[in-house]
Structure 1
């Protein structure tokens, strides 16, 4: 099987990609466009790209907006209240139905790798059991990393620490946390120490909802980075959101960046969610409420972009399109120069693959034949036109394929 007439990221010209036994066997430049056989996939000069990576989403809450009540204020904390109302309604069938529907939506939009945060502040841990089950069941179509996420705190929720331990025993891949939501600064720091110890005990990755607040005095990021560095696991740790960084002054950030760089931790920003949830206490001027994506990237640190939510109590929109999150992120962070555009897809591909520590990711000889076909010739044209995902292929097998949208009638001007 071959993919012919394909363009590849950061390369000129057309390419033929040979696939054997579900693996990329050869990648060869073409001197000109060639005709396809019945067994070939003709890319027609479109961009063949590594699959998109969704590094931060809440599959257990997906498709629950308005159940039983809508988040009327649109705030983060009312979202947590509404989710607390929805949790007693959870059951295995409900979770399986919504997760499968959401994962199908993500696959249709080019995603093959997902990190999902699953709430552990539920004594039944039904969502954790169900997501670990689905992770194994759906592995032929998608990779899922399950994060044990204490939505209402490790030490501020009854039996929260024991529930986190149970989640690890059930099979969570990643240890989560939310130190800024703990009742006190001391409990927040204690929660960071607890989750680092869990990660060391179970040899797991770490992904913390960290300083997802406008408060410039919320500075758990420095504590997380230091603890990760001291434990020697910085490259296994991700700080998600870190929106308080948008409210830090530059003098503090200058000092903070030195620590962050030395620690080696990763970052995830969720542009559509953060621009919606943050700045709620401002009149004008109003903060944008995103972490410093542009500055972190310029300093050589790794940042991935994510959707966070799809139709849940925190964000009642969402359509599974990571390209939309990328578009929002570049606009909000004022990363609108040509040099930003030409590598834009890194934020939803390579960068997120790195923080998830995915092995053999990317289009290279010897790697699994996992790829998507995007309508566009390069990062810039895909971004500018919000290119469609025309094909999603995993281990050489087609998961999804669609025809490009076409205008069938246009008035003559």
Structure 2
């Protein structure tokens, strides 16, 4: 709505082979335009049989509530388990009654939530004084409800975030800090949030450590996932589609002091 011609450009992109419909409804000027934005995105997704990945409610304003619009549209259309909503920061600032209602709708609609603590720890809460908000969504409550929650890198060395190196191991570590993930169950959740959960959101049926699955693998020189997160050790070997594509070697030399 805000950018005339955007719908036609999206339509042309899908005709040219784009495989996912994107959107950012909270960027519209008013609630009516936000609802129409959501409707048009779902219309395109249904017409071209594409999944949806939306940038949703990345703001500290708890009054911005387009996530519920997305969930309502998915439920009304029966467009289930084909939508991913990223950021949803405002959910943390909204009242608990709204949050509980929307989380339940997301669960019923099979909506995946892509939390991005790495970037949102930097971007959100900048106008706060004293007790500064972390800016991440309600990761713990979404997890407890059974919603598919994943962690994303979001940005790498751009105008929003001057850091980042595309390491999902680093993303898991920073996200664990932001979401208070410290015990064994928490760390298992963090592992899933950068592996199986994103695969589920993308609809990848051949993902996982099992016979017949796609062999996209990293070999880490550690004894456990917890140690991989703690030490942030580079991968010794990386396979993509069953083919070895990278190797790293690190040499440590200890010198005895005389």
Superposition TM-score tier, normalisation by shorter sequence: over 0.9
For 2:28, which of 155, 179, 182 is the aligned residue?
Answer: 182
Runs of 4+ in structure 1 off by over 3 angstroms are 410-413
Q: Which has the higher contact order (CA 8 A, sep 6+)?
A: 1
Contact 1:343/1:379 (8 A) holds in 2: no
Structure 1 residue 291 displacement after superposition: 0.7
- 2-structure distance, mates of 1:214, 1:277: 10
For 1:310, which of 145, 156, 161 is the aligned residue?
Answer: 156
Which residue does 1:387 correspond to in 2?
A: 233
Matched, 1:408 2:253: yes
Contact 1:221/1:239 (8 A) holds in 2: yes
Q: Secondary structure at the match of 1:256?
A: helix
Q: TM-score, normalised by structure 1?
A: 0.60
- 1-structure distance, mates of 2:124, 2:251: 38
Structure 1 residue 412 displacement after superposition: 4.7
Q: Secondary structure at the match of 2:114?
A: strand
Structure 1 residue 262 displacement after superposition: 1.4
Identify if the C-alpha distance between structure 1 residues 365 and 281 changes in structure 2 by more than 3 Å, giving closer, same or farther.
same
Unpaired segments ≥5 residues, structure 1: 1-154
Which residue does 1:255 correspond to in 2?
A: 101
For 1:330, which of 176, 185, 188 is the aligned residue?
Answer: 176
- 1-structure distance, mates of 2:165, 2:38: 33
- 2-structure distance, mates of 1:255, 1:395: 41
Q: Secondary structure at the match of 1:353?
A: helix
Q: Deviations over 1:122-166 (max 9, x none)?
A: xxxxxxxxxxxxxxxxxxxxxxxxxxxxxxxxx101211111111
- 2-structure distance, mates of 1:156, 1:410: 63
Aligned pairs for 1:92-111 (under 5 A) are none
Q: Secondary structure at the match of 2:81?
A: helix
- 1-structure distance, mates of 2:185, 2:121: 24
For 1:268, which of 114, 123, 129 is the aligned residue?
Answer: 114
Contact 1:294/1:335 (8 A) holds in 2: no
Contact 2:71/2:102 (8 A) holds in 1: no
More strand by share: 1
Q: Deviations over 1:202-228 (max 9, x none)?
A: 000101101011110001001101101
Contact 1:225/1:234 (8 A) holds in 2: no
- 2-structure distance, mates of 1:265, 1:356: 11
Which residue does 1:234 correspond to in 2?
A: 80
Q: Secondary structure at the match of 2:159?
A: coil
Matched, 1:209 2:55: yes
Which residue does 2:71 correspond to in 1?
A: 225
Q: Secondary structure at the match of 1:196?
A: helix
Q: TM-score, normalised by structure 2?
A: 0.95
Q: Deviations over 1:81-138 (max 9, x none)?
A: xxxxxxxxxxxxxxxxxxxxxxxxxxxxxxxxxxxxxxxxxxxxxxxxxxxxxxxxxx
Q: Deviations over 1:263-303 (max 9, x none)?
A: 11101011111111111221122110001112211211101
Matched, 1:298 2:144: yes
More helix by share: 2
Q: Secondary structure at the match of 1:399?
A: strand
Matched, 1:198 2:44: yes
Paired residue total: 258
Which residue does 1:355 correspond to in 2?
A: 201
Structure 1 residue 173 displacement after superposition: 0.8
- 2-structure distance, mates of 1:344, 1:179: 28
- 2-structure distance, mates of 1:334, 1:395: 34
Q: Deviations over 1:312-344 (max 9, x none)?
A: 121121112111111111111112223212443
- 1-structure distance, mates of 2:239, 2:60: 41
- 2-structure distance, mates of 1:353, 1:330: 19
- 1-structure distance, mates of 2:199, 2:47: 24
